[in-house]
Structure 1
């Protein structure tokens, strides 16, 4: 794979608009959630009394959709299975937390939730969660998803991709994905750089590269 423009040279994009409310209890959060309804572009993240409403803009949506494509290519070419949760509300009233991530997936535990809706009171959390935070967020996402028990967390800020693995209840940043061991941080950077110029070519090149890695891994 050939990288075009290094991410460090790209101007910092403006990826989201955010509105934050503090000192809300679970009941107040639920009232706002139901008042806004399901047919909305905004995403709600509630964490210990803080509610953040995020309106994604173009740079945010580009990264979210292309990272989802990146993951799906890996899953397909590696012969894995996946259940896509998207931005499904991951409600845990018992933990006073309820995020709507950009992308969430069951991969290792896909077989436990295949063919039905997930019930987080009884089912494990998603295996992999992705968040795009290009602008500042008041939510401590590492604490949030660690508390929910998400084993792998990807975070992208418009320039840098960070991979976190849950270890003893806390996230540790790692250099490569536990789910996709031959994938390192620079692979996503190269893919996103190429996709900015030509998404179809970027997909074709990355798929070819993954097939080669699978054969030698």
Structure 2
């Protein structure tokens, strides 16, 4: 397995994860620069642990991430809600936290970021919804506390875990605050796995048919 992590470049094989200890915010910023156009490589920084985590997702991760994002878009279209989606997007709190959700959506705060080339959490709101697919990694809700995303979805082991931010910490919920009339916790895993086995277009079409018929 070939690994390269330097100030000039980052090269990891799919599925690899590396943790760098005793790291600073400056080290984190330098790695973001050295990543260049390799957006598939995700870089996280935690000032509490002084660690940087670097991951190169597997192809299955990208497939399921795309499907989950598409299902969210189907939900938003069904409810006739406008949105702005980002994939990827680096979310940073200066010298505290840096992370990169698999996808995120501005829904209620959509107008606040229209026309902006960069999202700066010092002046811009965080996304309303962040999505994480855990295959080789393990996302903890508290990773997002410093960022303050109102709703976090973590898809792991064919289960959708929903977390709502109360201003201090994340609380697990059986229901989405963004889609309160739709049982997304039950529906989403069915169609993420359906897309993997039958194809994305088939799963999305069936999901949208269910939404029209029942919700």
Query: Structure 1 length as normaliser, TM-score?
Result: 0.84
Q: In the alignment, what sits opposite 2:58? A: 57
- Matched pairs, number: 197
Cα shift at 1:158 = 3.4
Deviation string for 1:65-117 (max 9, x for gaps)?
100110010111110011112121112214x2111110111011112212223
1:55 positional shift: 0.5
Asked if the contact 2:92/2:147 (under 8 Å) is kept, the reply is no
Gaps of 5+ in 1: 1-14
The answer to whether the aligner puts 1:171 opposite 2:183 as a matched pair is: no
Matches within 5 A, 1:56-205: 56-94=57-95, 96-117=96-117, 118-137=119-138, 141-181=140-180, 182-195=182-195, 196-205=197-206
Residues in 1 aligned to 2:92 and 2:111: alpha-carbon distance in whole angstroms: 21
Moved over 3 A (4+): none
Return the alpha-carbon distance in structure 2 between the equivalents of residues 136 and 198 of structure 1.
Answer: 24
Quick check: 1:132–1:158 contact (8 Å CA) kept in 2? no
In angstroms, what is the RMSD of aligned CA positions? 1.7
The alignment partner of 2:81 has SS state of: coil
User: In proportion to residue count, which structure has more helix?
Assistant: 1
Alignment gaps of 5+ in structure 2: 1-13
- Alpha-carbon separation, structure 1, partners of 2:74 and 2:39: 28
CA separation in 2, counterparts of 1:192 and 1:101? 17
Compute the displacement of 1:40 (Å).
Answer: 4.0
Asked if 2 retains the 8 angstrom alpha-carbon contact of 1:128 and 1:154, the reply is yes
For 1:62 and 1:44, the matched residues in 2 are separated by 19
Contact 2:39 2:88 in 1 (8 A): no
CA distance in 2, matches of 1:158, 1:54: 19
- What's the CA shift string for 1:132-168, capped at 9, x where partnerless? 122244xx63122122111000001232210001124
Which residue of 2 is the match for residue 4 of structure 1?
A: none
